[in-house]
Amino acid sequence: MPVIAIPIEELNRRLGRDLTSDEMEAHLDQLGCDLDGFAKLRRYRCRPSGALIELNPHEELPGRCPETLIEGKPDELWEYLGDVDVVKMDLLPVRPDIFDAGGLTRAIKGLLEVEMGLPEYEMGAPSLEVNVDASVANVRPQIGCAVMRGLKIDDVGLRMLMKLQENLHWALARDRKLASIGVYDLASIKGPVTYTTVGREEITFVPLQTIDGKAVTPEAILSEHPKGVAYAHLLKDFQRVPLLLDKVEQVLSMPPIINSHETRVTTETTDVFIDVTGISDRVVTKCLHTLVTSMLELFPGSRAERVQMHFPGMLNLPESTVALPSMATESFVIDVEHACRRIGIDIDRERAIRLLMQMRHHAEAVEDNASQVRVTVAPYRNDIMHEVDLIEDLAIAYGYQNIVPVLVPNMTVAQERPERVLANRTRNTMTGLGFFEVMSLLLSNPEEQYELMNVEDPGDAVLIENPASVEQSLMRTMVLPQLLRLFALNRGQGLPQRMFEVDDVVVFEDGTEHPSERLHLAGGILDTQVGFSDIKAITEAIAHEIGMPLTYQAIHHPAFLEGRVAQLLYQDEPVGIVGEVHPSVLEKLRLVQPLAVFEVSLQPLLPESDLYAL
Amino acid sequence: MARQLATNAYKVLKQLEERGGRVGLDELVAGTGLDQSQVMAVATAFAQDGWIDIAEEIRLEISLDEEGTAFLQSGASLLERRAAEALRTSGQPMTTVELAEATGTDAQAIGKVMRYLTAKGYATRAGKALQWADGADLEATQPDESLLARIAEAPSHLLLLGAEESAHAEIQEALKGLRSRNYLRSKERKFRELQLADEGKKVVQEGFEELVEVNQLTEAMLLSGEWRNVSFRSYDVTLDTTPTRPGKLHPLRRVLEETRRAFLNLGFQEIRGPYVESAFWDFDALFQPQDHPAREMQDTFYCERPGQFELPDPKMVETIRRTHEDGGDTGSTGWRYKWSEQKARQVVLRTHTTAVTVAACHKDPSPPQKVFCVGRVFRRETIDWKHLPEFHQVDGVIIDKDASFASLLGTLTAFYKQMGFDEVKFRPDFFPYTEPSVGVFVRLPGAKDWFELGGAGVFRPEVVQPAGVDVPVLAWGLGLERLAMVRYQIEDIRQLYLSQLDWLKESALHR
């Protein structure tokens, strides 16, 4: 999860008071932020481009500006501006509206009762138009736009704006897949703007973050530009790529990859044009609303303005013209009595209304009902789908620490699973016999399960389609191979060694839909002198204690010494194996003492499996 | 009745008695066959009882050096005596060369004894020659000669001189000469002597006998009754022994078992579910949208064999589909996307035991119920000190008309208290299938840092209404490896699955 750093000065300035770090921590905790702590960051300015970076004190200065990709000697490239006190926390994907100084201030003001209820954001009438071409339908059909004016963007503001976009890309937009944001200097654009597609070699433009300032084709960007390479997968299925152009065919951007250099935002910029394109209508709208409202909080004195959007007939929708962003709010009715029962607190409707207002919702009593409250939710909230989501907000405002923990009053009777009872009885027997329990992973691999044991793959293991490592590519069908590995890992830890494991194996048989899970016991003794009768005695002890009379039948098995290996039978059915491990296996494990082992399935003692009853 | 003494004491006292009540330590060692430390242990005990006195004296031990050994072997007399005899016989002054010739040696050897010829008064100087000294007494034995004679007779040619004698000027002089001529060596030795005191003499007079002492009580002794006639050697009960450890459960198992016991103690029924499960039960039934990052191949193990599972009863599947798409009958807006049956059929290794508890709600939705499941779950992680591709969780649900978020907090507090964590902290958290949701933190007694051990919440209506539950359902999923790591103060999660015997042996059950 990305860690974000919010400058404390920016917070306090907006809050109009100086919170102590304890107060700050308490508020962030109450909102559910995963606080990483308070820190001092060193702020530097890139001399050629003016871009800011903030580094931890121990971090080295980079030899390349991450924003402009300009390279240079670190000492010459960067100008030290001073230290910034920040609060660091993990970014929560469900609340991207509180992970910039503006949005977080808005939330804390509510908790402090400085400002309560729904924040009002005025939207000016459209002065810019955007035409959407039907060719985007199959590539990246969704788009929403906005204009903002009267921004005073200094270099710190520029950095905050960039971080805000990054956070939204990560938290809401699945790293630009569902939606991506572009912000441009409005002064450099001549409306109307067109959202369309072009062939990969059809045009050229100068993208951001190029050093030589050369105009290149979309194809060249996707194969050579760092941002193009990083996000090329999002366009790999399409011949034509999305593009935003203005009236004079100047390129604004190639979503979701990169903006043009010409239209970039600088510290001179006062008015901006914003676009959010994507494949999910819901996410595009949420990104746009969160971005615009957070910017209004971040840049006091700024104004937002709608954009007139002309959509063609596409995606089964008729041709339409709408002014975006809609800034539509949603309303829910919650029942305070029900909410109190669900949370386990006792508050009246007035208190509930006040708490919801603290969470920056609008709340008002429903006239003809004594218990209901109508709640209006701000357009930047992405996590309210149901009454219960507002009940959670109510509980958060009330404070989890103020809820008195109780137990449910109704009596229920405890009951253990029979597999666990049997497993524990078996473990008790083994520890009583002086064995140490080991635990290994259920995930294993063919080399361990078959090659080590000198056998062919019988084809009865559950196979993983996307293993993270070749070491874990299937579910084990036997415990013994891993037990042998553990003996190898314990080389040199004294003798004798007595180890066992009681746990599940998973066996998948052709013709059945579901694999079977079986409880197995495996054990072994490694010593300078140990043999078949030593380990057979252990299996007999187990059989006696758990009530599983076993018979023994000589067999061949390539992992065991010929003539010193027996199959275990229970009620005439094979249930396991016991014997002296073959020297060829010991050599593979680089063990230099004899090892006698056994494995037995305890499954016959258990009731028929009901694992896949549904 | 004669006094009974333990074997060593008996031997020492016996020697003292036989040797007239006064014996040197060395002689005692030789006489008793014990080693010196054993004899001294007895002597110290005797001295404490006032039976003996221990006298200590510095003695001079004189032994033969190279020249002395050759001298004794040759059987000749000292060279200066032989030279003196030659002078007396000739009556004339003789040069060293003449003397060498007369004594069968060389001039150099004569040169070395010249000073003894004069010092012992055998000869006088006559220019470069020597002359017999009138009145010299060749018959008298010189002190160095008598010292050599005593050594020749001493046992092993070792001569011990008491402090008084060794301080005598004549002995000192002789010793000095013989040492410088490499005839003798000498060193000082501490010499102890045991002497019976009055109390000891009394014991001896009254008679004493050996008490038989044994190491081991044997079956034969018990059968014969012989044990009555023996005494058992006392041991040093403080000495360390070879470490021994009982066979025991793996430390992680102990945490898993304590977890089970805690929930059983709270009246919960144990359930289980499969490791290999359809995405339907692992995700869809929990209202986790099909494009949720947790469902991506990056994070979840999908199975190649078996590739897909059939979905349950079509009516239930239809309810889940509608809940995802537009909320269905749950009053929710839903996720507003097109739900795919194909995606739900995919087979995964369960990513949480919540897959088991949510299936339990569908199996039996009737309240009141409290169920829990301890089991392994799988996440697509590469192994490092913080991550394993599988680990254990405990999931539980309470289905109860009187259940509330407060009783969720109460249940979790009670659980962690049973696990030995008195301090529990709750903080808002966010999960797709619970609302309100909470993160659970614990702290070791006296520690500063909080550890997050899991998440909990009240199941969303989108989760429980399709199962036919119309009362609150409290749910939680807590990581147990994390808990074990906090408990055993382990930094590296891999340690739990390496099963190093040294660690297994030394990890005490009480921890």
Only one residue has tokens 């057979």, namely A536
Instruction: Give, for B345, the enclosing helix (H) or strand (E).
Output: helix B341-345
Q: How far is A514 from chain B (nearest CA, A)?
A: 8
DSSP class per residue in B93-161: -B-HHHHHHHHTS-HHHHHHHHHHHHHTTSEEEETTEEEEPTT--SSSPPHHHHHHHHHHHSGGG-EEE
pLDDT at A419 over 70: yes
Give the ipTM of the model, two decimals please. Answer: 0.90
For A569, how many CA atoms within 13 A lie in the half-sphere containing its CB? 9
Please name every residue paired with A364 in a beta bridge, in sequence order, or none if there are none.
Answer: A374
CATH number belonging to domain B251-506: 3.30.930.10
Q: What is the pLDDT of residue A397?
A: 96
Instruction: Please give the torsion angle defined by the CA atoms of residues B34, B36, B37 and B39, in that order, rounded to the nearest 10 degrees.
Output: 60
Q: Write out pLDDT tens, residues B468-508.
A: 999 999 999 999 999 999 889 899 999 999 999 999 999 99
CA distance B501 to A435: 11
Distance CA A496, CA A526 (A): 6
Cβ-defined contact of A415 to B462 (cutoff 8 Å): no
> What domains sit in chain A, N to C, each tagged with a CATH number?
3-111 (3.30.56.10), 123-324 (3.50.40.10), 331-402 (3.30.56.10), 418-605 (3.30.930.10)
Q: Is it the case that residue A416 has pLDDT exceeding 90?
A: yes
Q: Name which residue leads in pLDDT, B146 or B327.
A: B327
- Are the beta carbons of A56 and A136 closer than 8 angstroms? no
Nearest to B282 by CA among B340, B350, B343: B350
Residues of chain B above pLDDT 90, percent: 54
Beta strands in B342-448 (DSSP E): 347-349, 369-378, 390-399, 423-428, 434-443
- Residue listed under structure tokens 């596409």: A314
Beta-ladder partners of A560:
A581
Shortest alpha-carbon distance between residue B314 and chain A (Å): 12
Q: Which residue has the tokens 């190898």?
A: A488
Q: Which residues from chain A sit within 8 angstroms of residue B291, using beta carbons?
A: 174, 178
Residue A506 φ/ψ, nearest 5 degrees: -125, 125
In one-letter notation, the amino acid at residue A57 is: P
At A164-213, the pLDDT tens digits run 999 999 989 989 999 999 999 999 999 899 999 999 999 999 999 877 78
- Residue A114 carries which DSSP code? S
Per-residue pLDDT at B448: 85
**Helix ranges (DSSP H) in B127-267:** 143-153, 163-166, 169-180, 198-206, 219-224, 251-265
Distance (Å, rounded) from C-alpha A521 to C-alpha A480? 9
Chain B interface test: which of A408, A463, A464, A469 (most B C-beta within 10 Å): A408
Helix axes B79-90, B96-103, angle to 10 degrees: 110
Q: Which residue has the tokens 């079986």?
A: A518
Chain A contact set for B427 (CB, 8 A): 29, 32, 400
Nearest alpha carbon to residue B429 among B421, B439, B418, B419: B439
| Average pLDDT of span B440-455 | 88
Query: ∠ CA(B274), CA(B276), CA(B281), 5° rounding?
Result: 75
Alpha-carbon gap, residue B94 to B105, rounded angstroms: 14
DSSP assignment letter at A427: H
Q: Is the pLDDT of residue A530 over 70?
A: yes
Name the DSSP letter for residue B382. Answer: -
A414 Cβ contact list (under 8 Å, min separation 6): B263, B264, B265, B266, B267, B268, B269, B270
Q: Is residue A90 less than 8 Å (CB to CB) from chain B? A: no
If you measure CA to CA, which chain B residue comes closest to A26?
B427
Amino acid in the structure at residue A407:
L
Provide φ and ψ at B478, rounded to 5°.
-125, 135
pLDDT at B1 over 70: no
Strands A193-199 and A303-305: unpaired
Q: Per-residue pLDDT tens for A294-345? A: 999 999 999 999 999 999 988 888 999 999 999 999 999 999 999 999 999 9
- Closest residue of chain A to B313, computed from CA coordinates: A614
Look at residue A515 and tell me whether its pLDDT is greater than 80: yes
Residues of B in contact with A515 (CB under 8 A): 274, 276, 306
Radius of gyration of chain A (CA): 33
- The tally of CA atoms less than 13 A away on the side-chain side of residue A417 is 20
User: Per the CB < 8 Å rule, is B497 touching A439?
Assistant: yes
- Give the model's confidence band at B126: pLDDT under 50 very low, under 70 low, under 90 confident, else very high: confident
Query: Looking at the complex, does the CB of residue A409 fall below 8 Å from at least one CB of chain B?
Result: yes
Q: What is the location of CATH 3.30.930.10 in chain B?
A: 251-506
Q: What is the CATH T-level fold of the domain B66-189, as seen in this structure?
A: Arc Repressor Mutant, subunit A (1.10.10)
Please give the interface size between A and B, counted as residue pairs whose CB atoms are below 8 Å apart.
267
Q: Which residues of A touch B365 (CB under 8 A)?
A: none
pLDDT the model gives residue B235 = 84
Structure tokens at A503: 């746990």
Across the interface, do B252 and A439 touch by the CB < 8 Å criterion?
A: yes
Identify all chain A residues contacting B260, using CB atoms and an 8 Å cutoff. Answer: 416, 420
Chain B interface, best mutation among A285, A412, A417, by max B CB count within 10 A: A412
- Residues B144-150 have a mean pLDDT of 87
Q: What is the CA radius of gyration of chain B?
A: 50
Q: Which H helix or E strand runs over A376?
A: strand A372-377
Residue in A92, A408, A415 closest to B398 by CB: A408
Q: What are phi and psi of B310, to 5 degrees?
A: -70, 150
Q: How confident is the model at residue B348 (pLDDT cuts 50, 70, 90)?
A: very high
Separation CA A553–CA B108 (nearest Å): 96
Mean pLDDT of all residues in B189-199: 89
In chain B, which residues fall in CATH 1.10.10.10?
66-189
Beta strands in A47-141 (DSSP E): 52-55, 78-90, 123-124, 129-132
Identify the residue with better confidence: A192 or B86.
A192
Q: Which candidate, B188, B186, B181, places its Cα nearest to that of B68?
A: B181
